[in-house]
Structure formats: C-alpha cells, structure tokens
Structure 1
Amino acid sequence: MMQVVGSTTEQFVYVASKDRRFNINEILVIEDRVHGDIKGEVVETTSFNRYIPMAGVRNGFVDRNTLEFMRQVGFSIEDESTHVAKVRILDMLTSPVEVGSSVRLPAFDEVRELLLKKGPEEGLTLGTILGTEEVSKGMPDELCDIAYLFEKGKGILPQNGVPFIFDYQAMSEYPHIGIFGGSGSGKSFGLRVILEELMKKRVPAIVFDPHFEMEFNNPMEGIPDKFKEDFTAHYEVFTAGRDIGIDFTELTQEDLVNILRASGGSISESMENAIRTLYKRKDTFTTFRDRLIDLSDALDLGKDRILRMMRDGGMAPEEVARLASYQALIDAYGNAVPYSGTVKAILWRLNNVARENLFLHNIEPILKAIKSRKTCVIRGSSLWVLTVFSSYLIKNLYSRRRRYRDSEFSGEAVEKFPPFVVATDEAHNFAPRSTPSPSKDVIREIAQEGRKYGVFLILATQRPALLDDTITAQLNTKIIFRTVRSVDIATIKEETDINPDEAARLPYLASGTAFISSAITGRTTAVRIRASKTVSPHAINPFEELERDYSSENDRLKKLLLSEMPIYMGNLRSVLERVNEELGMTYTRDEIVKVLHELVAEGQARLEKTPLGEMVSEVIQ
C-alpha cells in the first residue's frame, strides 16, 4: 500500500510505503478525492528503519510533522522499514493534494500520452525513460525491442522501459538541440545516436567532425540482427582542402572579409576597407593575390620614386611596363590603401588559407549530397581549418536555403534547396561566449532565425558555460549528461527547467544517462540513451590496440628465432641476415642476443654450453 503523507502542495507531495521501495523518475498515480487521478514523478527517495533510526529527520528529507502523521496512519517507523518518496506533481492543480490519498502504479495506457509524443516511425528513438520498467510491461509490441542498451563490460542489453521518442518535426516550432556533458559522460555517443536516427529519416545534415570519429560504417558488436542498420548509402565524408573547399570566384566581399578574419584573428577597420576596395567580383585567387603583391611593392617604392625611375630611363621595356602598372595601382588604390603594411597583413592571412589548399576546391560535392538528403561529415587537418571552412560553408548553405524560401513569396525563380541540420561537437570552439569566432555570427543568426527557414542546430560541448549566451538561450531542447564543473551546472540550471534535485545528481550520472529538458515534451525526462548501431573508429581500447598492433613485431621475431634454433651465440651473422630479410627490419646483433635471452627467461628456450660455444635451443613442451 502506498499513500500520501504529511504536508502537501499543488506541486509536491510525500508518498510512503511499508513494503515497496521507490525508484527515481518513476510515475505514480495519486487517487485524489477532489482532483481525481493525478500523475506524479518520483524525484527523491529514502528508506529508514530501526537500524538507522530517524535518518529521514537528520537529512532533512521529511519533517517531524510528516513522521507523526505516518505513525497515526499505521507506520511503525521505529520497528519496521519504511520507504518514502518526494513526488513532483505533473498535472496542473489549483489546490493541494489531499493528505492520505491512495497511490498506485499506472497502467501503460494511462501515461502513454505523457511519455510518448510520437511513435517510432514518426520520431527519433533515442533511448529508454528511466523509472518506467514496470509500466512498460503493458506496452504494445511496436514499442518493444527498439531501444537496446549498452553497458561497458556487459555489452548489449535488452530494452528495459518505455522508449524515449523525440518528436523532431516539432523542431519547426521549438528548434535547436544542445548536448552538454563532460569527458566520458556519453555526450559524443548521444550525438551519434541522434545522427543515426536523422539518417534513418533521411534528414540532410552537415556534421563538423573535429575528432575524426563520425564514421557510420562500423557496426556495434553484439547488436541483434533486427536492430542492425546499414548507413553507408546515407552519409559521405569530406575533408576541407582535399575534397572540398572555397570557390574563390564565388566569394562576395563580405565572404572574403569573414574568411580572412577567421584565418588570423581580428581584422582592423583599415584592413577591412582595403579588402572591400581591392577585391573585385569574380576575381580568381591568383588575380587577387597578384594585385595585393603588386600594390604592396608599389607602396614600398612610393609614387615619387616610381616617377623618378621612369624619367631617368635606361630600363628594359618590361621594367618600364612594371613601373607603369605600379603607378596605375597607386593611382587607383593609393588614397584608400596608403600603407603597404595593411596590404601585407591581408596577404599574410590570404596565404594562411591558401596553404591549406582551401582555394583549390569548391562545395559542389556537399551540395549534391545535401540535395540527395544525405549526412555530410566535414573534417579538416586542424580545428583551425575546420572553423575557417565552417564559417564559409554554413553561411553559403543557409543563404541558399533562405533565398529559396523567400522566393516562394517573392516569385523569384530560385533553385530548390532542402531544409537541413548543422551539427558539431566542441561547439564552444565554433561559437565561443566571449571571444571572436569566424562561424559565431552565422550560427547565432541561425539560432535566432533558422526555424523560419528550416535550418536547425545540434550543438554538443563539454563546456556549456563557454558557449555563446544568445545561442544557448535558443536551444529549446537540451540533453544533459554528467557534468561536474559548478560553472557549467549553473549555466544548465539557468537555461533549463531541471529542478534542484536533478541538478544535484548531474555530477553522478552514469555514462550514457541524461536529463532531456525540452519545450517539445514540456518536462525534463531522465533517459538512458540507447546503444548506437555503429561505433567510432576510436572505440577500441588503446591498451587492446597496444597488444594487437605493437606487440606483434616482437612476437614475430621470437617465432622466427625459435624456428632457426639451435642457434650458436658466437655465429649470429647468418641468423641476423635471414631475420632482417624475412621481417624487413634492421635488427642489430645486440638486439637479437637480448631477445634470445628473453626466450630463455620465458622458458621457451634453454641456454647450453657446448664445445662450439653457447647454444640456444627450443624447449619442446
């Protein structure tokens, strides 16, 4: 029997039981005489008995009035175990819950609308809802075995609870997702699961992959056959500077300013004015760079010196032509760009980008993939390259989508471009809170305006406190994994509706467990993220890698030496030649002697003295 005890409000009650322990996050039904059946969620629990007398009083969980009421209704607190739960009311009430009301577990149909907004065919199956193990026993078959779980050391586990299915189509009203969590919390794992689900729904996405881990062609070991999925046709991997890049001839002045700002930190007002003055529409990289070089040389010489040199004569025709071109450049640009230092600073930034081969390619492969409703994984040789390229790519794709949507009202003939998602890990590097970033402005614009045009963000970071405030405030769904830093927890408390009890649990959440705070669900839900169907190429344990990849050479050497035995220590030349030829290595005599002694120490060989000197022979087991 479970019943409401002690003081109650419209928001919280205490429920006590003599024989049943309560589970965090489970749903209970309170049978109130006035309000009818009320749903509530367990947010805190405790148990006490005669061996731990009055523990609930000491820790402040329940007060003495509540304990006295429990005694009056038949709880023998000093003699038997008693279980108490603090329950948050999920219904909107206008008056407190009646004390003494009976409490029971719900049937699945009673809480289906509360727990599930969409079915698996319409939403993203992200995991299982904690505390729903018992209520899930009444689920229909289509909700069973769709969210297998994973636990390190145990592998794949069966679904245990009601699946959490995210209504991604509601992002048209409540856009953008934030994924927060510290190292090892399951944050990247959660991002992978969301991307797998988006690929199943054929939602186009751009994924910036700073850690080279967003591959989806390696299946998770041990998952049931019916849970497996082949994503190879639904995503492509591109590397900036190798497969894709920036088409210089398509740049606007604003694009070029942003790219050069990204390449070398801040840009002064004089530099920005110079870029806008010197860059001509449809310039090639070579044309623009040569103009900068020539203008810099001309400004170093100075107009007066150029005129004197031309008057003095005695120069070859090509030198006269060069000086004439310098004079023309000064006449054209000298007033707007009077100092060669400004031009050299622009040239330095331009060469920074060019060195990464970003101007040798274009984004046509990405455009083709997006129009085919694929996920595009974008990589770079460094985080710097990725942030520089992202500033150009995101703005370009967003502009295409925006122009197409606006054309539907203006009547302008514009090529169709589909809605899409922009996702990235390490989001605080792309849109930092207090420092400039090449991509921050366009990400901020999408955060504020993207919903209208069908462009959405999924931003994952270990440090939510370092993410731009404006962007954080626009993330209507926040998936919060284990977080330890107090400053990050403070940011999460400010930006979500998690209660103090949930915030206190953040540093202790198990890996893969998260609070999902969303305007779409209307409440914070504790979720165990499902097993991903694919694994990162970095998923192998580094110590397993050490055994697999780096002990093999020594093992091969030992095996070869055993096959050559008996070996006389005084005559190793022939053995050394065969070993180096067979293994393609350059072992020295001393290294071979060391390994032979290792074999003796391991009991695989024995060392004997013979008339011909010391001999090593194999021990036959």
Structure 2
Amino acid sequence: MQVVGVTTQHEVYVASKVHKFRMNEMVVIEDGDLYQPKGEVVETFSYNRYIPMGFDKGLADDQVLKTLEHIGYDIGADDIHLAKVRLFEEAVQPIQTGAEVRHPHFDEISSLLVKAAPEEGLVLGEVKSTDFISETIPASLKGLLSIQDHEGVRPQNGVPFIFDIRAMQQYPHIGVFGGSGSGKSFGLRVMLEELMKLRIPTLVFDPHFEMNFSAKAEGVTDSIDYQERYLVVQIGRDVGVDFSALSVRDVERLLSAAGSLTESMINVIQSTHKRKDSYQSFSDRIANLAAALELGKQKVEAMLHDGGMTRDELERFDTYRKLLDQFGSLPLASVKGIQWRVNRLNQAGLFQQNIRSIEEGIHSGQLVVVQGPVWLLQVFSSYVVGALYGKRRSYKDAKLQQLQGEFFPPFVIVTDEAHNFAPKGFDAPAKSVLKEIAQEGRKYGVFLIFATQRPTLLDETITAQLNSKFVFRTVRGTDIQTIKEETDLTHEEGKRLPYLRSGDVFVSSAIMGRTMAVRIRMAHSSSPHTLNPFDELREMKQQDSSQLLEALKPQLPLAETSIMSQLTALNEAAKRSWDVQQWKKELDRLSRDGLLKKEKTPFATLYTEP
C-alpha cells in the first residue's frame, strides 16, 4: 500500500494492487518526518481496465492516475484499489507521495479506540474494520461480545467499542437517532443491558411495552442474569401519583396533559385547589361546584328555604350554597372541563397508587421500566421525573451547604419516542423539567438517554446538550440535516446514513473526540415484539385449525345434515358460538387445507379424517 496523487495536511490517497480497502479501516503512513501519521478510510474505489480511461470525476482523477503509472502500476491491465484516507490529526506539512502504508498495531491506536476498561464502561459493540489488528488486541479486550452478521452469529474479531460512562460527568447525555428498522430500539436495549451490568440506577419510559429482559435471545448461552436487576411497573396498576403531594402547579401540569387548558380552566384550578387536597376531596369539590353552577344560586336558595328535604339533601344544598358564595363567578364550562380531565386521569388509574416502588428500585441500583400509553406516560413522567430529580438535587444542595440530607443516588433517565416528551415548538408536561436536567443535570448526577426516529422534532435546547449521539440509518433529508448540524459527521458519512445496515451506527461523541463506525453487539435478551406479524397470523391459523379438529374428532365422520343436531356439542367443544352456515364454511376450509376429507355420497356429504 502506497500514498499516491496530490496530498494535503488533512487527507491522502492510498493505492494497492492486492488489498481491497474497507470503509473506516485504519492505516499508518510511514512518513518519519511527520511521526507516522494515522488515518481512517473514508472513501474507497477499485479501478481496472474495464473502466473507460476518460473516467476522471471520481476518486481516480488525472493526478492519481499519473502517480500510479510513475510508481509502476499498469493502468491498462492491473486491478488497482484506491482509498481516500482522512488523517486523525492535521499534519504540519503534506504527506510524502509514495510513502508506504500499513495497518497499525493495537498499541499505536489504542488511545483512539478504547477509553475505558470493559468492567467500567458500556460494552456496546465492535469498532468496524478493526479485524486487521485482531492479533495484537490484548486478551482483556477479547471475547467480550458476539455480533449478528451476514453469516449469523459470530464471535468478536475486532476492537470492542466501550463507552466511558464515567466521562458523562463532563460530557453529559446521549441521543440515539434512527429510522424504523434501523436497529435503534435494539441498540437502546443493549445500552440498558450494560447499565444493568454496572448496576447504575436507571428510569426508563417505555411506550411500546417492549423493555422486558426475561427472555434470552436465541443463540445466547452465557450472559448475565438480569432478572434481579430490573423492575417493570405499569401506570395505574403498580405506580401512580400521590394527589395529596401535588402543588397547584403540579395539578395544572397533570391536567394539561389530559387535554389543553384555557386561561379560565387554570383559574378554576388555582381557585379551588387546596394544599394537601386528596383526589377525593378535590374531585368532590369540583363535581359539587359544577352541579351548583348548573342549578344557579336562586334555585339553591329556594330549595333551602322551601324545606321538605332529607338531612342528606339539606347538607348537599348547603354545600352548594357555600361553593357558590366562594366560587360562583367561575364559568360552568371551565369547571366541567376540569371535572372531565380529573375523571379521565383517575379512570386511567393515575391517582390510585404512588411511586414508592420506583424510589426503592432506584435506591437499590435497579433499572425501573415504567410502561403505559404515550399520553399517560407524558403525564406521569412530568411528576415522577420532577419528584426524583428534586430529591437528588435537595441531597446535593444540602451536602454543598454542609447540611444533613437524605441520600438519593445519581440516576439515568431513558425514553424512547423522546420527541413526544420534549417536542420542538410546543409545550408538553415533562418538557420543562427535562430541559432543566439537560442543562444542569450533570452537576447533580442526573443524565438523559433520548431515543427518537425524528431528531428534527426534538427540542433544540435538549438536542444541543446531547454530547454523545448514536446515529443509525436515517432516510429523511430534514433529519439528516439536523444530525449533520449537531454532530461532526463528514459529508461522506452523511451520504452513507440512508444506506447503513440495521445495527450499524455512527457514534459522534465528545468523549471519543471523533466519529466512529460501530456494529452493535448482539443483545443478551430479546424483545417480546420479535415475532414477525405474518408468522403470528400463520401460527394463530394453525392453532385455530388444531383446536377445531380436536372438537370435531369425536363427531367424525360427520354428515352435513347432522351439523344442526350436533351444533350445541360442537360449539361447546370448540368454545365457539357459530351457526350451521359458519360450521359448513370452516369444514370446507379444513377440507381444502387437507386436514379433513370431504366425500359426497348418494345420501349426504360426509366429512372424515384424511
């Protein structure tokens, strides 16, 4: 391998007759005057006699071709492999043309590739095109992972990519970007497995109900048992909001997530909410106020003076009068709007639990997965993130003031579909507290990992604070433009984004100091959504057919004319409520599928075993 063509302080062209260059391959240039600069292949090309000599618009321009001829390459006969190599550090002078090029020894580039030991960082994958230096990789960095590749599962044969989690104290927050099918959710799963490995307290908001780690991935035999390291809770069933702990501002935030609030509705909340209100006391007050406003003050006063009411009715109308005296100027429509929103959140189970189990999980170093529909997660996240961040902040502030505070551990907040929680251009329940954490969280040891298919829709203040970005395949031009603005991806890497394989990712991180191409390792656990929906259809059809055959077996051979008399028995056995026509259709289908045999006799049509 040799340097050819015109060279600069930033990039050179390298040629070889035998070696086919690969993207992101690392090389060392034997230029003693510049202390053997190192670089990475950013563009590759093969030139041979079948390409017209007039080709001069690509990598092989006239200058490169002339140099190749001068150093002994036969342009008309040889296959010539070319690569554009970008130097890791700017050279003080251009590289010597004709200089020899070789693959590096691990020790020469270890500082560029590995920033943390495997037991102290997140082992997320394998640095692409580093198999050339596999023989010189130390034993401590070998055998750490498996890779899902073209030929199936293979052992690690390159340098592991280890994300230095400790460096997040200086360069906080991670963004995970990628379109549908790019491997984004898979990469997020691998990150969460590594956080569990290090027992880092983590809070995950899971709108897709897929972050469960109980099922081992196919082909995985030796891995950490995550069973004791994570906790899955559902909003309304396991966790909820302690209404009595809410301030007026908290109530406003929660109710605005159930439906946008007008100025008049906000006034209703501020007027009617009392400190330490329980859900029952607040909802009763709102319901009674709505009923009183509907009746009107005159009617209420008249009912109280007329008499003839039971004691309970008297108490109820007396309550109406007191509420009208206090809040009679509030508009009925706004009161009813608040009543509807409070009822909607209660019906979703939000006010029937508390967050004690989440706090306990964070304290014990677990990964706590909170599941629920997106709209409810938006509501709940604003409360739980504010509460936990407040506890951590109070502890750190007390410690700085040399006061005694209750310890609350540092933790990581992870969410998929992050643009729903912190959207650009409009407000969302959790947006303000997430923006605060993005800007100030590192001082208190609270960090964000935000995954989204649409980085363009994510709040710009938060995007700017994501110091490490994992960029999977992205197709939309606006998203690619946003990613290029927020990372140091080169023009060539930007052009590759729409064509990345699922599981390949560009890691642009201030921690690493440059963009790296990585293949995400095989996850130890599998998502409950891995079954192909078309396979699911086939399985359900087979299961349904098996169930019907079991129900039919005692009745076979079955005459078509006997279906009516056997209808009750057939429906009970098959757990169906079909009529005769439906059973005939199913019997014909089973016959077409070869599971039953249909015979026409002079007396009747018979269904028998095949």
**Same fold? TM cut 0.5:** yes
SS of the counterpart of 2:134?
helix
One-letter amino acid matched to 2:92: T
Q: Distance in 2 between matches of 1:613 and 1:338?
A: 77
SS of the counterpart of 1:551?
helix
Give the conservation status (yes or no) of the 8 Å contact 1:202–1:234: yes
- Change over 3 Å in CA distance of 1:235–1:616 after alignment to 2: closer
- Change over 3 Å in CA distance of 1:20–1:55 after alignment to 2: farther
One-letter amino acid matched to 1:204: P
Q: Distance in 1 between matches of 2:496 and 2:345?
A: 45
Q: TM-score scaled to structure 2, two decimals?
A: 0.93
Partner of 2:193: 196
Partner of 1:247: 242
What is the CA distance between 1:587 and its match in structure 2? 4.8
Q: Distance in 2 between matches of 1:602 and 1:353?
A: 49
User: Which structure 2 residue ranges, 5 or more long, are not aligned?
Assistant: none
1:409 equivalent in alignment to 2:408: no
Alignment deviations for residues 565-586 of structure 1 (CA, whole Å, 9 cap, x no partner):
4444444566656544433334
1:280 equivalent in alignment to 2:274: yes
Q: Distance in 2 between matches of 1:439 and 1:122?
A: 31
Partner of 2:7: 8
Residue correspondence of structure 1 range 442-481 to structure 2 within 5 A: 442-481=433-472
One-letter amino acid matched to 1:272: I
- Paired residue for 2:180, among 158, 178, 183? 183
Q: Distance in 2 between matches of 1:338 and 1:566?
A: 75
Partner of 1:50: 49
Q: Distance in 1 between matches of 2:400 and 2:590?
A: 81
Alignment deviations for residues 346-367 of structure 1 (CA, whole Å, 9 cap, x no partner):
2232222122121111101111
1:436 equivalent in alignment to 2:427: yes
- Change over 3 Å in CA distance of 1:179–1:565 after alignment to 2: same
Q: Distance in 2 between matches of 1:35 and 1:501?
A: 26
Q: Distance in 1 between matches of 2:286 and 2:566?
A: 64
Partner of 1:537: 528
Partner of 1:148: 146
SS of the counterpart of 2:225?
coil
Q: Distance in 1 between matches of 2:605 and 2:5?
A: 89
1:584 equivalent in alignment to 2:578: no
What is the CA distance between 1:127 and its match in structure 2? 0.6
Give the conservation status (yes or no) of the 8 Å contact 1:513–1:528: yes
1:165 equivalent in alignment to 2:162: yes
Partner of 2:130: 132
SS of the counterpart of 1:460?
strand
One-letter amino acid matched to 2:457: L
- Change over 3 Å in CA distance of 1:30–1:384 after alignment to 2: same
- Paired residue for 1:493, among 484, 491, 501? 484
Partner of 1:339: 331
Stretch deviating more after TM superposition (118-127 or 300-309): 300-309
Q: Distance in 2 between matches of 1:325 and 1:489?
A: 60
Partner of 1:482: 473
Q: Distance in 1 between matches of 2:302 and 2:554?
A: 85
- Change over 3 Å in CA distance of 1:277–1:614 after alignment to 2: closer
One-letter amino acid matched to 1:221: E
Give the conservation status (yes or no) of the 8 Å contact 2:37–2:91: no
Alignment deviations for residues 3-41 of structure 1 (CA, whole Å, 9 cap, x no partner):
111222221111111221111001100111311111100
SS of the counterpart of 1:531?
coil
1:260 equivalent in alignment to 2:261: no
SS of the counterpart of 1:134?
helix
- Paired residue for 2:283, among 276, 289, 292? 289
Give the conservation status (yes or no) of the 8 Å contact 2:133–2:158: yes
Alignment deviations for residues 239-279 of structure 1 (CA, whole Å, 9 cap, x no partner):
111111110111112211211222212x3344334423322
Partner of 2:36: 37
SS of the counterpart of 2:22?
coil
Give the conservation status (yes or no) of the 8 Å contact 2:240–2:355: yes
Partner of 2:110: 112
One-letter amino acid matched to 1:469: E
1:377 equivalent in alignment to 2:369: yes
Partner of 1:352: 344
Alignment deviations for residues 160-204 of structure 1 (CA, whole Å, 9 cap, x no partner):
321101001111111111100000000000000000000010011
- Change over 3 Å in CA distance of 1:558–1:405 after alignment to 2: same
Report sequence identity in percent.
Answer: 48
Partner of 2:86: 88
User: Which structure 1 residue ranges, 5 or more long, are not aligned?
Assistant: none
- Change over 3 Å in CA distance of 1:407–1:603 after alignment to 2: closer
Q: Distance in 1 between matches of 2:580 and 2:314?
A: 69
Partner of 2:20: 21
Q: Distance in 2 between matches of 1:289 and 1:598?
A: 56
SS of the counterpart of 2:377?
helix
SS of the counterpart of 2:369?
strand
Alignment deviations for residues 203-250 of structure 1 (CA, whole Å, 9 cap, x no partner):
111111111101000000112x23x22111111111111111110111
Q: Distance in 2 between matches of 1:416 and 1:559?
A: 61
Q: Distance in 1 between matches of 2:318 and 2:559?
A: 83
- Change over 3 Å in CA distance of 1:8–1:315 after alignment to 2: farther
Q: What is the RMSD of the two structures over their aligned residues, measured on CA atoms?
A: 2.5
Give the conservation status (yes or no) of the 8 Å contact 1:155–1:222: no
Alignment deviations for residues 371-416 of structure 1 (CA, whole Å, 9 cap, x no partner):
1111111111x21111111111111111111111111012343221
What is the CA distance between 1:496 and its match in structure 2? 0.3
One-letter amino acid matched to 2:272: L
Q: Distance in 1 between matches of 2:141 and 2:173?
A: 26
- Equivalenced residues, count: 609
Q: Distance in 2 between matches of 1:304 and 1:555?
A: 70
What is the CA distance between 1:599 and its match in structure 2? 5.8
Residue correspondence of structure 1 range 384-423 to structure 2 within 5 A: 384-423=375-414
Q: Distance in 2 between matches of 1:276 and 1:605?
A: 70
Q: Distance in 1 between matches of 2:163 and 2:107?
A: 19
- Change over 3 Å in CA distance of 1:574–1:288 after alignment to 2: closer
Stretch deviating more after TM superposition (575-584 or 156-165): 575-584
Stretch deviating more after TM superposition (45-54 or 321-330): 321-330
Q: Distance in 2 between matches of 1:302 and 1:68?
A: 96
One-letter amino acid matched to 2:508: S
What is the CA distance between 1:102 and its match in structure 2? 1.4
Q: Distance in 2 between matches of 1:15 and 1:174?
A: 35
Give the conservation status (yes or no) of the 8 Å contact 1:248–1:283: yes
1:79 equivalent in alignment to 2:71: no
Q: Distance in 1 between matches of 2:348 and 2:595?
A: 53
Give the conservation status (yes or no) of the 8 Å contact 1:580–1:586: yes
- Change over 3 Å in CA distance of 1:481–1:605 after alignment to 2: closer
SS of the counterpart of 1:415?
coil
Give the conservation status (yes or no) of the 8 Å contact 2:551–2:574: no
What is the CA distance between 1:283 and its match in structure 2? 1.0
What is the CA distance between 1:56 and its match in structure 2? 5.7
1:235 equivalent in alignment to 2:230: yes
- Paired residue for 1:363, among 355, 359, 364? 355
Q: TM-score scaled to structure 1, two decimals?
A: 0.92
Q: Distance in 2 between matches of 1:40 and 1:346?
A: 62
What is the CA distance between 1:157 and its match in structure 2? 2.3
